[in-house]
Chains A and B, each alone.
Chain A
Amino acid sequence: MPSRLTKIGCILLVGLASSLALADAVVVVSAQSPVSTLTRSELADIYLGRTNRFHGGQPAMPVDQRENSPAYVAFYRNYLGQTPAQIKMHWSRLIFTGRGQPPRSLADHQAMADFVAGQATAIGYLDDAYVDERLRVVAID
């Protein structure tokens, strides 16, 4: 029981720290995933299609919320420092050269929570109010 409490405490603490700095979106993986921290550049490389693995070698499957939704805009602004138009420009370079496809897109926070919970390789982002015991918030350095 104490360990469970500690875990929740950690999640809350991380969630609080993230929301203070970044407002709106936290990065999550499945509770089954071994990943607990990522650097900002690792996160950017995963979301920009430059790598398909986490630094530990596990496969990474990034998932997006709907393009131009508040969570989408906040995620790319806060973690990658880019606007939706810049992201679109980035993917148009890869799509039109057959060198990659953008992350799969999900309808809302709940769909994101359910999808990431069910996929050990998935990584996503959502409002911290949707974080439940099936998910782990990833600390971004």
Chain B
Amino acid sequence: MPRGAGRTSDWSAEVDSRLGLQLSANLTPRLSSVVQVVTEQQYDGQFRPAIEWANINFDVTPDLSLRVGRVILPVFMNSEYRKVGYATPWIRPPLEVYRTIPVSSADGVDVSYRSRIASVTNTLRATYGQSDATFPYIDATMDRATAEARAREGLTISNTVEQGSISLFAAYSHYRLSIEDFNPLFDAFRLFGPEGDAIADRYNVDGKTFEAISLGARYDPGNWFVMGEWTQTGSRTFLADNRGWYISGGYRLGAFTPYLTYASQRILSKTSTPGLSQPGSEPLDAMLNSMLQGQPQQESVSIGVRWDFSSNMAVKAQFDHMNHEGGSRGYLVNSQPGYEPGGSVNLFSLALDFVF
């Protein structure tokens, strides 16, 4: 029996709940260590602790630091603290940007260099490493399935410029992505000879280059804020090339911060292919097309309010109206038989965030 929030008007307290625990140790004045464990609901409905951060930081100088271990990839402006609800105005970062990249952390090294010119602070970061991630998808028979993505030779370079109330961000990411779970499908295509090989080479995910560029800006003079991000991803795989962006603004009225966000994410690559169109290839063609079509494409308007009712606690309420285009299911992962993709979905969320 299918369960969980999403398809109905039932409420769920599980979906966005998470508990993070962080241990920091200052081993020497220049050497420190951070371990952060976050427990939240996974794609399969289970709550499991996952290690977000586990690294050793060495300050070569006060402005140059080196980390070794598990680090968050600084792909987007709010990536590093996206799991710390208290640190952002929203209930969750806009999915139209933050879900366009399947990998969020890496096991490797990270170098951060901060410099100051007059009143401008510049922080340049480079991260190199690898990671594995399990993600859910809807397979050709409309069942929920999971696959394992492996990212190798991952490089992310990001730069942040801050001056007073203004913050500008840019990042470039590049890695080799493999999802072996889909290899059998493409092996089947190869049985059809050179034409099948061409399709397999175009769409398989077997050590293929995945690239992403993102830009962000924030202006926060105190009483109000506005921020936006833009990202574009690309690869020669069945995974769609996406362009996502959002703009979000809020006004602070005492302890209340009402905010409004518009976000949009579109697929730039083709969402269908004629496939082989050979006798006997119809099931394969259909499966490939359903994979191309099954990828998220949505726009949303969110309105919400954050209430800082105590010195380390905040309550947030958010209403999202999402439009799914081109038969997309958006980012819904709990769709049920009879659900028609496309159309619009409303979501109301409440969150309590605390730090201590």
Contact = CB atoms under 8 A, between A and B. Distances in A.
Interface of A: 39, 41-42, 44-45, 50-52, 67-68, 80-86, 88-89, 92-93, 95-99
Q: How large is the interface on B (under 10, 10 to 19, 20 to 34, 35 or more residues)?
A: 20 to 34
B311 A96 contact: no
A41 B166 CA distance: 11
A86 B53 contact: no
15 contacts: A39-B119, A42-B119, A50-B121, A51-B116, A51-B121, A52-B62, A81-B221, A83-B255, A85-B308, A92-B81, A92-B355, A93-B80, A95-B24, A96-B22, A99-B112
Contacts of B81: 92-93, 96-97
Given A41-B119, A96-B22, A98-B32, A89 B86 contact: yes
Contact of B84 (A51, A80, A93): A93
A49 B35 CA distance: 21
A39 B163 CA distance: 13
Nearest to B308: A85
Given A82-B222, A98-B57, A92 B119 contact: no
Given A52-B62, A68-B311, A85-B311, A96 B252 contact: no
A96 B21 CA distance: 9
A95 B24 CA distance: 9
B87 interface: yes
A85 to B, nearest CB: 4
B36 interface: yes
Contacts of A42: 119
B222 A81 contact: yes
Given A42-B119, A81-B222, A85-B311, 15 more contacts: A41-B164, A45-B119, A51-B121, A67-B311, A81-B223, A82-B222, A83-B252, A83-B308, A88-B86, A88-B355, A89-B86, A93-B87, A96-B36, A98-B32, A99-B112
Listed from nearest, the 5 A-B pairs whose CB atoms lie closest are: A81-B222, A98-B34, A85-B308, A97-B80, A93-B87
B312 interface: yes
A35 B206 CA distance: 60
Nearest to A40: B164
Contacts, number: 67
Interface string B244-258: 000000001001000
B314 interface: yes
A11 to B, nearest CB: 27
Contacts of A89: 86-87
Contacts of B116: 51
Contacts of A92: 81, 84, 86-87, 355
Interface in B1-40: 20, 22, 24, 32, 34, 36
Interface of B: 20, 22, 24, 32, 34, 36, 53, 55, 57, 62, 72, 80-81, 84, 86-87, 112, 116, 119, 121, 162-164, 221-223, 252, 255, 308, 311-312, 314, 355
Contacts of B223: 81
Contacts of A80: 222
Nearest to A96: B84
Nearest to A45: B121
Nearest to A83: B252
A84 B355 CA distance: 14
B311 A88 contact: yes
B222 A97 contact: no
Contacts of B34: 97-98
Contacts of B53: 97-98
Contacts of B308: 83, 85
Nearest to B309: A85
A50 B81 CA distance: 17
Residue from the set B20, B222, B314 with the largest chain A CB neighbour count within 10 Å:
B222
A98 B24 contact: yes
A39 B120 CA distance: 13
Contacts of A88: 86, 311-312, 355
A84 B222 CA distance: 11
Contacts of B57: 98
Nearest to A50: B121
A77 to B, nearest CB: 9
A89 to B, nearest CB: 6
Residue from the set B72, B119, B223 with the largest chain A CB neighbour count within 10 Å:
B119
